[in-house]
Structure 1
Amino acid sequence: MIARLSRLLATTRGTMVALGIMTLFAAFAAYEVHVVRQKLAIQGNHSEAPELRTGIAVLTLIDRLHYRLQEIAWTEDGRAVPKHVITDFAGALRNLERYADRLSEVFESSGTVAASGRAEENLAATIAAAKAAIEADFADPVTLEVTFSGHRERTKYTIIRYFHLLAEEREAAFLKQERTLAFFTASIYAAVLAMLGAFSALVLVLRREVGIRIGREKAERHAEYLSRTDPLTGLPNRSQLHHFLGDRITRFEDFQLLLIDVSRFGEINERYGHATGDAVLRALSERLRALAGRSGGEAVHLGADEFALVLPLFAQEDGSQICSSIEEMSIRDGTNRVFVKTAIGRAGSDTLRAEGHLSTDGMIRAVELALSEAKYRSHEQFVTYTPELEQRHARRRELLDSIPRAIEDDEFFVAFQPKVDLADGYVYGFEALIRWRHQGRVISPADFLPLAEETRLIVDLDLLVLGDAVRQVASWNRVTGRDYAISVNLSALHFSNRDIVTAVADLLADLDFNPSLLTLEITETVMLDDWEGVQAILADLSALGVKISLDDFGTGYSSLAYLRRISADELKIDRSFVTEIEQSSEAQFVLDAIVDIATGLGMKIVVEGIETEEQARIVSGFGCDRGQGYLWGAPKPAGETEVAILEAVA
C-alpha cells in the first residue's frame, strides 16, 4: 500500500491532487476560525444590550422620581399636591426597586467589583430617600428634593462609571480573544504552510527516489533485455541459444539445430552499404522468426551474419524443405535489390544422443562442423552433421596446417592440360593446374584449394603456379620454336589490391615472355567485389598485353548480362553444360545462347570437360572455337607433357 502511494505521489497528477487536498484543508480551517470570530463579535455586542437596558431603566426611573419631587417642591404653599403625582412617584419607586434587583444581579456577575459596590450603595440610598419622602408624606418637599438630588447625582455617576468600566473590561477581554483568535488563525496558516512545504519536500523526495528506482528498474530491465536480445533484429542472442538447447536437453526432447551463415555478407556491405546490410539481416530474421513460430521453435541471431534455428526434430527431408526457403532470397531495400545466399549446417539431437555426446556444446560443435562443410562444398548449401564429418574436418585441419610447410618444401607442382583448336585438333596451349604431392600421394585440388582460399594462402599458390607455368612454357617455346599459350587461374582475392599487376609485369619482363600468350582465368565471383576496382585492375592487366578469360561461366553468381560489363578475351563454358549436351535439348539451347552473345562481344569460346568425339562435334557445330578435356589428355606433370610436346614436334 505504501509503495503504491509512493508511486502515486511520485507522479505529477498524484502531486497535484495531494496539494489540492492540503489547500482545501487550509481554506476550510481558516474559514472556520473566521466564523468563530464573527460569532464572538456578535455575541459580545448582544451580551451588553440587557445590562445597559437595565442600567438605563434605573437611571430613567431615578430622574422620574426627582422630577416628581421637584413638582411637589414647587407646589404653591397652601395648595395640595396633585394625587396623580404622588401615585406616579410611588409607581416609579416600585419599578426602581424591581430594576434595582435586576441591576444587583448584573453587579453580582460583574468583574468590576469596586464600581458595582459603590453604585449599589448609592442606588440603595436613593431608594431609601424616596421611601422616606413617601413615609413623611412629602413634608418639607424642598429639603426632600435637595436630599434626593444629591443621592440622584451620586447614583447616576457611579452607575454610569460602572458601565463605562464594564465596557472597557469587556472590550479588553474581546480584544484579547481577538488577538488569541488572530494568533490561532496565523498559527493555522503557518502550520498549513509548513505542512504544505514539508509535504511538497516529501513529495519531491519521493518523486526523486521513485524516479531513481523506476529508472534503475528500467535500466536493469533494458540491460537484461540487451543481455538476451540482439538490438538490430530483435531476436534472442547467443546466450539464449545455450538456454534453449539446455532446456530441451533437460526435458529429453528431440530437436534439431540449424546454423545459418549469409554468404559473402561483407561484399553486400561494401557494395550496397551497411544500411542495406542491416536491412538484409532484418529481413532474414523475420523469415526465420516466422519459420520458428510455425514450427514451435526459436530463432536466434548469433551476431554478424550468423543465425540459428532450434526446431522440433522432423525427418531430414522436412528439415531440407525448411532450409530451401532460406537458402536463397531476394531482398529489396529502397532502389537496391539484393540476392542473398546462405550456407546451412544442421545437427539432430538423435545423432548426438546415439553417439553419447548430446550436450549444448556438443550440439553447437556438431552444427558448426556441418556449416563448415557446407561452406567447403561450394556446390552444396545445406549439410547435415554425421560422425564422418569429424574425420573429414580433422583431415582438413591437418592439410591446412601442412600447406605453409608444403610450399617451403616444394610439394606443390604444376600439371598441364592441353587446349586444342576444335577445327583441326591442334594443341595451341595449356592450362596450368596445381597439384600437391603429400606423404607419397597426390592430393586432389578439391581437397585443399578451398582451404587455401579460406586462409588466403591461395594467393601464394597462384603466384607459385603462375611463375612455374610461364617459365616452363617459355622453355618449351624456345626448344620447339612454337608459341604455346598458357592459362593460369587467379583467385578473386588478388583483386583486392594491385599487387597482381606488379607480379605479372615483373614476371613477363624477367622471362621476356610474349604477353599475348598468357591468359589469366578469373571466375564470376571476382565481379561481386568492388566492381570499379576490379575493372581498373583488369584494364591494367590488359594493358600489359595479357588476355583475360572468364572461367566456369554459368555456375556462379552471375548471368549473361555480366558478359557486357567485363572486358574478357575468352569465355570458358563449364563442363556441366557438356555432360548433358548429347541428350538435353535444353543444354543445347543454353549453349547456343551463350555462344551467340559471347561471339557478338568478340570473345573466343573454350569448352571444358569434353570427353567424346560426339561432344566435340556438337560444341563445334554451335560455333565454339576451342576445347579442353580428357578427349585430348588429362592434366600431366611438366615432364610428361614435355615428352608429348617433343614427340609431336618430331
Structure 2
Amino acid sequence: MNDRYMTEGCEDGPHERQPRVLLVDDDPVNLLLTAAALRERGFTVVEAEGGLEALRQLADWLPDVIVLDAMMPGIDGFETCRELRELPGFELMPVLMLTGLEDEDSIERAFDAGATDFFVKSTQWVLLAGRLHYLLRSTRIHMALLRSQARLTRAQDLARMGSFEWLATQGLRLEPEARRVIGRNGPRPMSLQEVMHLIAPAQRRAMLARMREALRHACVIDCDVAIRGERVLHVEAEPQFDEQGRLAGYGGILQDVTERRMAEDKIRQLANFDSLTGLPNRRQLIWRAERALESAQRQGHRFALLLIDLDRFKNINDTLGHARGDDLLVEIGRRLRGCVHHCDQIVAPGIDEALLRSHRALEAVGRLGGDEFVALLPEVAGQEQALAVADAMLRALREPVVLAGREYFVTASIGIGVYPGDGVSVVDLLRNADIAMYAAKADGRNALQLFHPDLIGRSREKLEIETALHKALERGELVLHYQPQIEAADGRVRAVEALMRWRRDGALVQPGDFIPVAEETGLIVPMSEWAIGEAARQIAAWRDHHGLDLAVAVNLPSRAFERFDLVEQVREATRSLGLPERALQLEITETALMRNIDQVIPVLHRLTQTGVEIAIDDFGTGYSSLAYLTQLPIRELKIDQSFVRYLGEREQSTAVVTAVIALARSLRLRVVAEGVETPLQEQVLRGLGCDTLQGRRFAPPMPAEDLARWLERGGRATPARDPAG
C-alpha cells in the first residue's frame, strides 16, 4: 500500500505545505474558476481537461486529493475513478466527485465507482474547500488507523498472538492471526468443537470442565493448554453480555507460548537439577527432603538421608583431566540412582497407593556439588533398610569404571542419618549424615557409618585439631624426634629415622592423632617440606657440634612425591648447609606408593640420580606388584612392626619376615626391621640375616640433643667426615 501522500504531511497549519489537488473537468470555464477559488484558499492545484489526461498525469505525479467532474465526454468521471482505483498505490486516494445531478442514482454510481465523497457543483467555494479539508483529515485518520492496525498485526505475529470471539448466537470467529497461531490458515470457518479437538487428549477433559465452570459463573478464562504438535497455547478470554445483561459469549486472545514454556522449563531445570549429571541439585534435594519430613511428621514414619562422598576422586580428576572426571561423576550418579530406584520399598502397614506414589516421587539421588551425592529415602522401616541401600551402593561402586578405554576403581564413604532419631530437621540430618560420612572415611574409607551421638565429640575434636594444626607450623610447635637404626653386623648406628611430633600446650601429640588429619586437609605437604629442611639442619648441627656423620630418613606422603619441585627442594636443603644429598633418605609407605605409582616413579628416578636413597616403609602391609619392585629405584625395604611383633611366637610372622628378607637379598636391597622390642625378636632377626634393626630394644625416638648424649654414653655411630674431603 502506497501512502506517500499521507506521510509527507497535509495539515492546514501555517508551516505545512499546501495540499495538492488534481482538478479534472472538461469545461474550461468551470476548470478555471474552481482552480482559482481553491488556490485562493491555500491549495496547490494541477488541472486536467479530461479523464485520459488525468490518468496520464497520475503516472508520475501524486496529489493529495482528486476532484473529479462526473459528466465528461469520452471517459467520464465514473470510469476515470474506476480506472485510477486499479492503479498501484491509489486504492485509498481520496476522490471527491463533482456533479450537477442530485438524483440518488448518480450518487450511488459515484460510490460504486470508488469515490470517497461527492459534492454538487456550485459557486460556494468555501463549502468546497471545507469539504476537501474534511476529506484530507478523515483520510489521514483512516491511514493512521490502518498503520496502527498493521503494527498491531505485526506485533501479534511477533508475539504469536491472535484474537477470537465466540458468541452463542453466531459461533466461533477466529481472526487470521489466531488461525495462524493454531496452525489453520485456510478461509473455512472453524467450529468450537473442531478447535477443542486440536487440544491434546490428556488436557481436553480438564479444558472442557474449565470452560463449563467459566460459563456457569461468567468469569474470566486464563490458562495454558497443550495442543497437538507439542505446542502450548495461552488462552485469555473475558465474558461479553447483551443489552439485557445476559452472558452472550466470550472474546479474547490465543497466544503461542511454546518457546516461553520451554525457556521456563529450562530455567526450572537449571535451578533444580545439576547440569552435569541431570540429578537434583542441593536446592531441589532440600525441597524434597522438607516435603519428606512433613510427610513423616504427619504419618509417623521414618525417612533417611545418605551422604555419599567419593574416595580420592581428586586423584582421578587431576590425573585424567576434568573431562574424564565429569564422565566418572555421570556414571557414579547413574549407579547410585539405580540403587535407590530398584531397592525394595518397605512401607508402613495400611499406607494407601496415592501416598506411596507421593513418597516415590520424593525419592531421589542428587548431587550436592563436587564429588558429594545425597540419597533421599522418603520412607524406611528403620536403620536396617537404609543400611541395605548404602551397602548396595558400595557394591555398585566397586565395579570398575571404564574411562578412555581403561578400567578404574572408585570407592565411596557413606554416612547415614535417619529421622527422627538422628535429627528432627533437614539441616540436622544433613549435618549428622556428614559427621557419619567423615567417620567412615576415618575408619579406612570404602565404608558406611550410621550416625550416633558419640561421633559428634570425635568430629569436634578433629575440627579442633585441624584448626590448631594450621597454626602449629607458624608457632614452631612441630618437632622431630629421632630413632636409631642399628647395623645387625656390628651394632653401629647406620642412620636415624625422623619421626614428627607436635608439642601442643606443653604436651606431645602422637603422630597417629594428627598425621591423618594433616593428610586429609593437605597440611601434610607443607609439614613434609618443613621436615626435610629441619632434618637437614639437624644433620649439619650434629656434624658441626658433635662430629657425627648421621643420615636421616624422612617419611613423606605420596603427595610430596607428586610435586614437581621435590628434587630441587631436597637439593636446596642439603647444599645450603654443605651436605651431600645422600645425607637425606626419603621413605614412602607401600600403600602410598601404589596409590599413584605412575606419577611417583619418575620422581624417584630423579631423586636417586642426585644421590638420595629411597626406602619403602611398612612393606607387606599394602598391595604391591613384584614387577613394580623391579622397576623402582629403591635401596631399602622396611619390614612393618606388625610382622616383627610376633616373631618367634607365630609361624606366620616368621614366614613373612623370612620371605621379605629373601626377596630383598635377591633384589640386592637393604632390609630394616621396625618395632624391635624384645631379645627374642632381635635374635630371630639376626638369625634370618636382617641387615638393620630399629626399635625400643635399642633406643626410643628422642629429641636431637638426647640422641647426641645417647651416642656419647655408648651408642656407636660413624665418625663425621671432613666436608672438604
Pairing 1:285–2:355 present: no
**1:262-273 superposed matches below 5 A:** 262-273=310-321
Pairing 1:569–2:635 present: yes
Report the TM-score when normalising by structure 1.
0.61
Instruction: Report the Cα offset of residue 596 of structure 1.
Output: 4.7
Provide, for residues 505-539 of structure 1, a one-character-per-residue CA deviation record: whole Å limited to 9, x for no partner. Answer: 1221232223323201123435645835x444333
Q: Secondary structure at the match of 1:429?
A: strand
Q: 1:581 to 1:282 in 2, by over 3 A?
A: farther
Q: Which residue of 1 aligns with 2:180?
A: 204
Distance of 1:344 and 1:581 partners within structure 2: 38
Q: Report the AA paired with residue 418 of structure 2.
A: G
Pairing 1:537–2:585 present: no
Pairing 1:476–2:545 present: no
What percentage of aligned pairs have identical amino acids? 33
Q: Secondary structure at the match of 2:383?
A: coil
Deviates more, 1:259-268 or 1:470-479: 470-479
Q: Report the AA paired with residue 435 of structure 2.
A: L
Instruction: Report the Cα offset of residue 351 of structure 1.
Output: 3.8
Distance of 2:648 and 2:715 partners within structure 1: 34
Match of 1:408 among 467, 474, 493: 474
Distance of 1:449 and 1:343 partners within structure 2: 20
Q: CA RMSD in A?
A: 3.4
Q: 1:479 to 1:528 in 2, by over 3 A?
A: same
Instruction: Report the Cα offset of residue 241 of structure 1.
Output: 2.5
Q: Which residue of 2 aligns with 1:636?
A: 702
Q: Which residue of 2 aligns with 1:233?
A: 277
Distance of 2:427 and 2:656 partners within structure 1: 48
Q: Report the AA paired with residue 257 of structure 2.
A: R
Distance of 2:325 and 2:559 partners within structure 1: 21
**1:319-358 superposed matches below 5 A:** 321-322=391-392, 324-325=394-395, 328-333=398-403, 335-352=405-422, 357-358=423-424
**1:340-489 superposed matches below 5 A:** 340-352=410-422, 357-378=423-444, 381-423=447-489, 425-477=491-543, 481-489=547-555
Q: 1:557 to 1:337 in 2, by over 3 A?
A: farther
Distance of 2:468 and 2:452 partners within structure 1: 25
Instruction: Report the Cα offset of residue 487 of structure 1.
Output: 0.4
Instruction: Report the Cα offset of residue 542 of structure 1.
Output: 1.9
Instruction: Report the Cα offset of residue 636 of structure 1.
Output: 1.7
**1:26-65 superposed matches below 5 A:** none
- Contact 1:486–1:519 (CA under 8 A) maintained in structure 2: yes
Q: 1:610 to 1:284 in 2, by over 3 A?
A: farther
- Contact 2:305–2:376 (CA under 8 A) maintained in structure 1: yes
Provide, for residues 353-399 of structure 1, a one-character-per-residue CA deviation record: whole Å limited to 9, x for no partner. Answer: xxxx4210111111222223333454774343332332333333333
Instruction: Report the Cα offset of residue 610 of structure 1.
Output: 3.3
Q: Report the AA paired with residue 182 of structure 2.
A: L
Q: Which residue of 1 aligns with 2:252?
A: none
Q: Secondary structure at the match of 1:513?
A: coil
Q: 1:248 to 1:575 in 2, by over 3 A?
A: farther
Give the structure with the higher percent helix: 1
Q: Which runs of 5+ in 1 are unaligned?
A: 1-197
Deviates more, 1:373-382 or 1:512-521: 373-382
Instruction: Report the Cα offset of residue 622 of structure 1.
Output: 5.4
Q: Which residue of 1 aligns with 2:261?
A: 217
Distance of 2:688 and 2:280 partners within structure 1: 55
**1:522-533 superposed matches below 5 A:** 522-523=588-589, 524-525=591-592, 528-529=595-596, 531-532=598-599
Distance of 1:499 and 1:642 partners within structure 2: 32
Distance of 1:561 and 1:591 partners within structure 2: 20
- Contact 2:478–2:500 (CA under 8 A) maintained in structure 1: yes
Instruction: Report the Cα offset of residue 242 of structure 1.
Output: 1.6
Instruction: Report the Cα offset of residue 489 of structure 1.
Output: 1.8
Q: Report the AA paired with residue 317 of structure 2.
A: N
- Contact 1:433–1:465 (CA under 8 A) maintained in structure 2: no
Provide, for residues 77-105 of structure 1, a one-character-per-residue CA deviation record: whole Å limited to 9, x for no partner. Answer: xxxxxxxxxxxxxxxxxxxxxxxxxxxxx
Provide, for residues 580-631 of structure 1, a one-character-per-residue CA deviation record: whole Å limited to 9, x for no partner. Answer: 6656655555555555544443332223333334444555555543232333
Distance of 2:627 and 2:276 partners within structure 1: 35
Pairing 1:314–2:383 present: yes
Distance of 1:502 and 1:536 partners within structure 2: 14
- Contact 1:415–1:433 (CA under 8 A) maintained in structure 2: yes
Q: Which residue of 2 aligns with 1:261?
A: 309
Query: Higher relative CO (CA 8 A, sep ≥ 6), structure 1 or 2?
Result: 1
Q: Which residue of 2 aligns with 1:492?
A: 558
Q: 1:219 to 1:627 in 2, by over 3 A?
A: farther
Match of 1:294 among 317, 323, 343: 343
Q: Report the AA paired with residue 259 of structure 1.
A: L
Q: Which residue of 1 aligns with 2:227?
A: none
Distance of 1:220 and 1:270 partners within structure 2: 36
Instruction: Report the Cα offset of residue 430 of structure 1.
Output: 1.1
Q: 1:620 to 1:203 in 2, by over 3 A?
A: farther
Q: Secondary structure at the match of 1:399?
A: helix
Report the TM-score when normalising by structure 2.
0.55
Q: Report the AA paired with residue 415 of structure 2.
A: G
- Contact 1:516–1:546 (CA under 8 A) maintained in structure 2: yes
Q: Which residue of 1 aligns with 2:214?
A: none
Provide, for residues 56-92 of structure 1, a one-character-per-residue CA deviation record: whole Å limited to 9, x for no partner. Answer: xxxxxxxxxxxxxxxxxxxxxxxxxxxxxxxxxxxxx
Give the structure with the higher percent strand: 2
- Contact 1:270–1:530 (CA under 8 A) maintained in structure 2: no
Instruction: Report the Cα offset of residue 492 of structure 1.
Output: 2.9
**1:119-130 superposed matches below 5 A:** none
Distance of 1:615 and 1:322 partners within structure 2: 45
Q: Between Structure 1 and Structure 2, whose CA radius of gyration is higher?
A: 1
Q: Report the AA paired with residue 531 of structure 1.
A: D
Q: Which residue of 1 aligns with 2:24?
A: none
- Contact 1:300–1:307 (CA under 8 A) maintained in structure 2: yes
Q: Report the AA paired with residue 632 of structure 1.
A: F
Distance of 1:380 and 1:585 partners within structure 2: 31
- Contact 1:490–1:522 (CA under 8 A) maintained in structure 2: yes
Distance of 1:631 and 1:350 partners within structure 2: 54
Distance of 2:526 and 2:178 partners within structure 1: 76
- Contact 2:394–2:447 (CA under 8 A) maintained in structure 1: no
**1:121-140 superposed matches below 5 A:** none
Q: Report the AA paired with residue 514 of structure 1.
A: P
Instruction: Report the Cα offset of residue 321 of structure 1.
Output: 4.4
